[in-house]
Amino acid sequence: MLIDENHYLDGAEQVQSPNYNERPSEEEISLLVIHNISLPPGRYGGGYIEQFFQNQLPVAVDPFFEEIKELQVSSHLLIERTGRIVQFVPFSKRAWHAGISEYQGRDGCNDFSLGIELEGTDDEPYTDIQYKQLAEVTRAIQERYPAITLDRIVGHCDIAPIRKTDPGPSFDWQKYRSLVFGI
């Protein structure tokens, strides 16, 4: 996998989200944040995550959708349980994935991070193909953005611990690191 000159991942399906803006000028991309999402909670498929990141969620489909209909969020990438990769925001832009967040004394992690959503929940194992795809994407990201080192790959829970728990205890950090770094 490669990231092109326009900051798009080759091989990812491109689905534009309106929920992004410019990063602060001269801000180096230096953090990778791993999230999870399922819509409705605990259910997979249906295209609802894409619709949510495009502000087009069909609220009549599920009562939970009514609760989140006003949220405007996005991530750079989504890796579905099937391994399909969708890119919503070019890596050079600030996706709205981290919310109120802090890493190593710096607030506003969206300014300097990339966000990858895994289709899943905190307590259900992720699929092997998701780990494979995430590892390949991580290597491509590190090649393009070398400030993202092993110690600068975190879960949403690490940058917003009071609010967030993802990617959750079901995420196998050792398996992921082994696939990416061979450790």
Beta strand 85-87 pairing with 13-14:
parallel
> Which of 99, 87, 181 minimizes the C-alpha distance to 142?
181
First to last CA, the chain: 21
Compute the distance between CA of residue 129 and CA of residue 122 in angstroms, rounded to an integer.
17
> Which residue type, as a one-letter code, is found at position 146?
P
Count of helices and strands (H, E) across the chain: 5, 10
Q: Where are the alpha helices (DSSP H) in 79-155?
A: 128-144
Specify burial of residue 147 (Cβ count, 10 A radius: 0-12, 13-18, 19+).
exposed
**What are the catalytic residues?**
117
Compute the distance between CA of residue 1 and CA of residue 3 in angstroms, rounded to an integer.
7
